[in-house]
Structure 1
Amino acid sequence: MQELELLQNTPLFAGISAPELKELLSWLAPVRRRYHKGEIVLMAGYPAREIGVVVEGLVQGAKPTGDGRQLAVGQFGPGGVFGDVLASGRRESPVTLTALCDTQVLFVPIQAVCSPGGAVPPGHARLVQNLLRVISDKYFELDRRLDLLLLKNLRGRLCLFLMQEAAAAHSNTFCIPLNRAQLAEYLGCERSALCRELSRMQKDGLIETYRGSFKLLQPAALGAALPGCEPEPKEN
């Protein structure tokens, strides 16, 4: 896939024609930076003034915790967009972004997007609309994760997570981009506890799973495991 086509498929530049995107990129004057595996893209505590678009490679965000651990909060592959919320709010980054392999990132200055001044190219209005949509989507993704973490037991969190992923894939068979350690961090549990619960769910005939692939065998039973969805007790 050519880079221009890749950018057109990102949420930030979606809906902008190739000629308009070429003109827009020339006007925005984004900066391309290259990183080797393990290099820091953005350090926690430093301000973000640019929106990053991953052109090649993989970037992971991790939040430092009080006990010295790094809590993974997201990954961004080719076409992934990061820094949009931080740059728009002019706040210091609460997460550290690290390249997981050799990576190229295109950095778009937030000033050119939000406060351009003077005449702007035709694709600029769509760019601003896309930025607002990206920020909105991330708000709802955060709300989704809070719904998971508010559930008291791990079985409930797993059931809700798997049902959400199936709904997004429009299929009871799907893959997730998280390994077991990353999924455990996302669900707020230990990796060993996650593996035990997945094993129990397979033995109960609820799911089949191998690495990042899942198949929901009894979606209705998964839904019934969620709080408020338990079947009414039968009257004697």
Structure 2
Amino acid sequence: MIDSVLFKDFTENEIDKFIEYSDAKIIEYNIGHYIFNQGENPKYLYILLKGAVQVEKIDLDGRRYMVNMFEKSGTIFGEVYLYIDSKEYDYSCVAIKDSKILEIPKEYASSGELEKNPKLLKNMLSILSSKAYFLNQKLLIQSSATLKQKIAKFLLQELEGKNKVELRYNRETLANYIGTTRPSLSRELSNMEEEGYIIVEKSSIKLMDIEGLKYI
């Protein structure tokens, strides 16, 4: 059974009927293969079943910037473009692990069929609301005046439990996410560690002064 917010409160039989009726297909992508490319016309609504994908943007100088990363099974991506007429992808999406993806044709997803099903409509609105919240949180980070403020806001947003943030990104990806370079990120993390705000570990960061981070 597909575990996705889109199919919340659906029975397995209802999901099977949806996949059959919508002509959706499960496609496997090897690491490094692109699901879609910047500038292409949208064709599908995507649901990640296994693996991980990264959404990235290439600027005019050919540099790549990580916009988002999805690794949780059931995550939906590419949904916004289904409701924008004649809109090309602003980003590319690449598999960063061997991945399995359910692809629902745009013709079905944007035909009004989703709206005819109250459960599908409710779930899609929930998804779009969550994405809007995520983008707002990212904007709060990237609009900060200094790199230290960006890092502090990111850590506070990601905080789970008492005082530790488990890093979902490597240094390069994290630097792209908050809008800086890897050397600058590493240098500022070292500075913040020396100042007693954090302790940087291999795959996590301990927050030693949460109140102090709030007022950076």
TM-score, normalisation: structure 2: 0.89
Matched, 1:208 2:199: yes
Q: Say which of 80, 84, 98 aligns to 2:75.
A: 80
Matched, 1:42 2:33: no
Task: Give, in angstroms, the shift of residue 28 of structure 1.
Answer: 2.4
- The answer on whether the counterparts of 2:52 and 2:95 sit within 8 Å (CA) in structure 1 is yes
C-alpha separation in 1, matches of 2:23 and 2:162: 41
> What secondary structure sits across from 1:145 in the alignment?
helix
Q: Which amino acid aligns with 1:218?
A: D
Q: In angstroms, what is the RMSD of aligned CA positions?
A: 1.8
List structure 1 segments (4+ residues) > 6 angstroms apart after TM superposition: none
Specify the alignment match of 2:174 in structure 1: 183
Structure (1 or 2) with the larger CA radius of gyration: 1
C-alpha separation in 2, matches of 1:75 and 1:148: 16
- The answer on whether the counterparts of 1:206 and 1:219 sit within 8 Å (CA) in structure 2 is yes
Task: Give, in angstroms, the shift of residue 11 of structure 1.
Answer: 2.2
- The answer on whether the counterparts of 2:198 and 2:208 sit within 8 Å (CA) in structure 1 is yes
C-alpha separation in 1, matches of 2:197 and 2:69: 28
Matched, 1:66 2:60: yes
Specify the alignment match of 1:131 in structure 2: 124
Q: Say which of 11, 14, 21 aligns to 1:20.
A: 14
Q: How does 1:1-236 map to 2 (within 5 A)?
A: 4=1, 7-8=2-3, 10-77=4-71, 78-90=73-85, 91-116=87-112, 124-166=117-159, 169-225=160-216
C-alpha separation in 2, matches of 1:113 and 1:126: 14
C-alpha separation in 1, matches of 2:162 and 2:10: 30
Task: Give, in angstroms, the shift of residue 22 of structure 1.
Answer: 2.7
1:61-106, CA deviations, whole angstroms, 9 ceiling, x for partnerless residues?
A: 1101011111111122232211111122242101111122322211
Task: Give, in angstroms, the shift of residue 109 of structure 1.
Answer: 2.3
Task: Give, in angstroms, the shift of residue 170 of structure 1.
Answer: 4.5
- The answer on whether the counterparts of 1:113 and 1:128 sit within 8 Å (CA) in structure 2 is no
Task: Give, in angstroms, the shift of residue 163 of structure 1.
Answer: 0.8
C-alpha separation in 2, matches of 1:28 and 1:172: 45
Structure 2: gaps of 5 or more residues: none
Q: Which amino acid aligns with 2:205?
A: F
1:196-231, CA deviations, whole angstroms, 9 ceiling, x for partnerless residues?
A: 111111122211222331221111111121xxxxxx
- The answer on whether the counterparts of 1:88 and 1:110 sit within 8 Å (CA) in structure 2 is no
C-alpha separation in 2, matches of 1:127 and 1:104: 22
C-alpha separation in 1, matches of 2:75 and 2:202: 23
Structure 1: gaps of 5 or more residues: 226-236
- The answer on whether the counterparts of 2:46 and 2:104 sit within 8 Å (CA) in structure 1 is yes
Task: Give, in angstroms, the shift of residue 116 of structure 1.
Answer: 4.5
C-alpha separation in 2, matches of 1:12 and 1:176: 27
